[in-house]
Chains A and B, each alone.
Chain A
Amino acid sequence: MNARNRELLALIPATLLVTAGFAAVFIQRENLLNDLSLTYGAIFLALCVAAHLVLRMTLPDADPYLFPLVAVLACFGLVMLYRLDEELAREQAQWFVVGLIFFTGTIVALRRDHRVLERYRYVIALGGILLLLLPRLGNPVNGAYLSFELGPISFQPAELAKIAIVIFLASYLRDTRQVLVIGARRFAGITFPPLKHLGPLLAVWGTAMLLLFVIQDLGSSLMFFGGFLALVYVATNRISFVLIGLALFALGARVLYAIRPTIESRVDAWLHPFEPELYEREIGGSYQIAQSIFSQADGGFFGQGFGQAIIQLGDSAPILPAAHTDFIYAVITDELGLMGAVAVLLVYLLIIERGFKTAMLATDSFSKLLATGLTAVLALQVFVIVGGVTKLIPLTGVTLPFISYGGSSIVANFILLALLLLVSDRARREVAP
């Protein structure tokens, strides 16, 4: 069976999931078995098949499982959002279509050779940084400068910026990785990069710190800087560079912690979510994180079932705030239990495995680094938000890729997927017997 037929076959389970999920939500809501869920399943399948046909024509050898895995995540997102709020699900479905348009657009535009991106690396880097600075023009949301209002649309530039920065770093490190290794000297058992090439590394660290102070959000800074360190490690094979980077990042985070009360209150909420004083604090308290843990515990092993999680009682303020964005993972755990939550994480794990596999197969350094970087930022994003919701690390507001409500997140992650598939197609075509 060739790659594209596998892909088509793998889209069928995703469609079944949409149909079953919607049917279950209908039953819960109106106590009737509605054939509308079949219609939704059919529309979902039609959209996925349309994107699949574009892949079939442009990237015949690309990884067959990446797109179906993403379709499964999108299905989770649509079903959960529909269960929370029909209006949100309708908007999300529109964004899903927009995302697919950008996905196919990226593929068609770069189908000949995605390495043309290298030529525009400084423009792309500048664009990425400007995007990150954009939210400073507006007002902070929950103490962080992450979103930007563009007319009626609230837009999270960090989502797009992560791709721009990975493209830049992949292209930059392709050129400089050799000099970083060759001039390195050992001091006190640690290998330091040569001084004159330490400059760029420090510049990236400085940019990450600047971003940390500008957007004032540890989670997205961790995502950017972690992606950078993953790239440096893959490009140079020197674990010491990663350790130096982590030490520098910890230093910067410590300084920010000392001077910004928002960060401090987040860390407090993370350490002591059930402390009454913190729990009842109006702004920056631990109410959200405590409720998130309660609802995950409520899920048990197999969950409460679709539509059964208690999100809101009557018309009062929601029990679980931001259930459609930051805490959608908690809702999934509540309704599908440990089994459902583990399945979601497994889907991400498999996407990441396919991504790194693509990087291993790629023949040129830029493609290798690009696939590694894109996969690493995606993995870190999942880690940051799931870690935050499960109280492993302090909570920060990044989206759960392909599941959370949010236009810019869906669009940006579809572009990321398109780039991975572009790398994958070239790599697998060269390797294929």
Chain B
Amino acid sequence: MLEPVSVGLKFAFLAVLYLFLLWVSRSALKDLRRGAFGGARPPVAADATGMHPASSLNVLDGDGEVTPRLVVESVPGLSRGMAYDVGEGATLGRGDVEIQLEDPFASSRHAQLTRQGAILVIEDLGSTNGTYLNDELLRGPRPLHAGDRVRIGDSTFTYSD
């Protein structure tokens, strides 16, 4: 009789199936622990900027002033050409931060600009959907240069200094 073989095959079937599932879910878990992006860093505490009052939102009037600004290229709810003064650094995100974005794809604390000497450095704060500098995914802190495009979700800014 082949009855034992049949029972054996059933258990072999289930065993192979569960081992396969274990293997796939192990890599899935690894993904989840790592966060959305491979090797993303834990969010950095924003001690550099603290909670100073929201940056003044002023229209760029082209007076040749040389303060670092993030100029709105296309940001939901804001008109093109408006600019944020970011000379002292700022945090961008959907939450209670200096530069508030009405963008569902932005994290509450999404990205941070910090002043380091004469240059301004942009860094992603472990956001879910990433920050793009000139259409490239930001990995680690990067200095900003005039004309750089910063994109978060559907919001795009141009940096000028």
Q: Which residues of B contact A433 (CB under 8 A)?
A: 38-39
Q: Could you give, for residues 57-82 of chain A, a 1 whenever the CB lies within 8 Å of some chain B CB and a 0 otherwise?
A: 00000000100110010000000000
For the complex, is B16 an interface residue (Cβ under 8 Å from A)?
Answer: yes
Q: Which of B33-62 contact A (CB under 8 A)?
A: 36-39
B28 nearest CB across to chain A (Å): 5
A302 within 8 A of B: yes
Given A20-B9, A336-B14, A365-B154; A346-B21 close (CB under 8 Å):
yes
- Residues 173-188 of A contacting B (Cβ, < 8 Å): 177-178, 181-182
Inter-chain contact A347/B36, CB cutoff 8 Å = no
Report yes or no: A69 in contact with B24, Cβ–Cβ below 8 A.
Answer: yes
| A10 close to B104 (CB less than 8 A) | no
Chain A residues, CB < 8 A from B28: 65, 350, 353-354, 357
Contact with B along A7-40 (1 / 0, CB 8 A): 0001001101100110110011001110000000
- Determine the distance from Cα of A357 to Cα of B103 in the docked complex, in whole angstroms: 20
Q: Is there contact, CB below 8 Å, between B9 and A23?
A: yes
Q: Which of B1-33 contact A (CB under 8 A)?
A: 1-2, 5-7, 9-14, 16-21, 23-25, 27-28, 31
Query: A358-412: which have CB < 8 Å to B?
Result: 360-361, 363, 365, 368
Residues from chain A with a CB closer than 8 A to the CB of B105 are 365, 368
A312 lies within 8 A of chain B by Cβ: no
Given A27-B5, A182-B77, A235-B104, are A305 and B20 also a contact pair (CB < 8 Å)?
no
The smallest C-beta distance from B33 to any residue of chain A, in angstroms, reads 13
Within B95-150, the residues touching A (CB, 8 Å) are 102-105, 128-130, 132, 137
| Complex interface: chain A residues within 8 A of B130 (CB) | 363
Across the interface, do B14 and A302 meet the contact criterion of CB distance under 8 Å?
Answer: yes
A237 lies within 8 A of B104 (CB): yes
Is A306 close to B, CB under 8 A? yes
Q: Is the CB of B16 within 8 A of A28?
A: no
A93 to B153, alpha carbons, bound, how many Å? 43
Q: Are B102 and A182 in contact (CB under 8 A)?
A: yes
Check if A191 is an interface residue, CB within 8 A of chain B: no
Contact assessment for B6 and A27 in the assembled complex, using a CB-CB cutoff below 8 Å: yes
Q: Which residue of A lies closest to B18 (CB)?
A: A343
Query: Do A181 and B102 touch (CB < 8 A)?
Result: yes
A4 vs B87: C-alpha distance in the bound complex, in angstroms?
47
Chain A residues with CB below 8 A from B21, complex form: 343, 346-347, 350
The residue that B137 contacts in the complex, of A177, A360, A363, with Cβ under 8 A, is: A363
**Beta-carbon contact of A31 and B2 below 8 Å:** yes
Q: Whole-angstrom distance from the CB of A161 to the nearest CB of chain B? A: 27
Residue A340 lies at the interface, judged by CB distance under 8 Å to chain B: yes
Q: Is the CB of B2 within 8 A of A32?
A: yes
The answer on a CB contact under 8 Å between B102 and A178 is yes
Q: Given the known A-B contacts A20-B16, A235-B104, A350-B28, are A360 and B10 also in contact in the complex, defined by CB atoms under 8 Å?
A: no
Nearest-Cβ distance from residue B105 to partner chain A, whole angstroms: 7
Q: Are A28 and B6 in contact (CB under 8 A)?
A: yes
* Pairwise interchain contact A302-B104, C-beta atoms closer than 8 A: no
Which of chain A's residues has its CB closest to B77's CB? A182
Say yes or no: A305-B7 contact (C-beta < 8 A), given A17-B16, A24-B13, A363-B132: yes
A357–B16 CB distance below 8 A: no
Can you give 29 A-B contacts (C-beta < 8 A)? A10-B23, A13-B19, A13-B20, A17-B16, A17-B20, A21-B9, A24-B10, A24-B13, A27-B2, A31-B1, A31-B2, A65-B27, A65-B28, A72-B20, A177-B104, A178-B76, A178-B77, A305-B7, A305-B10, A306-B6, A306-B13, A336-B10, A339-B18, A347-B21, A353-B28, A357-B28, A361-B37, A368-B105, A433-B38
Given contacts A13-B20, A343-B17, 11 further A-B contacts (CB under 8 A): A13-B19, A14-B20, A33-B5, A65-B24, A237-B104, A305-B7, A340-B17, A346-B25, A360-B129, A363-B132, A431-B137
Hey, which bits of chain A sit against chain B, CB under 8 A?
Answer: 10, 13-14, 16-17, 20-21, 23-24, 27-28, 31-33, 65, 68-69, 72, 177-178, 181-182, 234-237, 302-303, 305-306, 336, 339-340, 343, 346-347, 350, 353-354, 357, 360-361, 363, 365, 368, 430-433
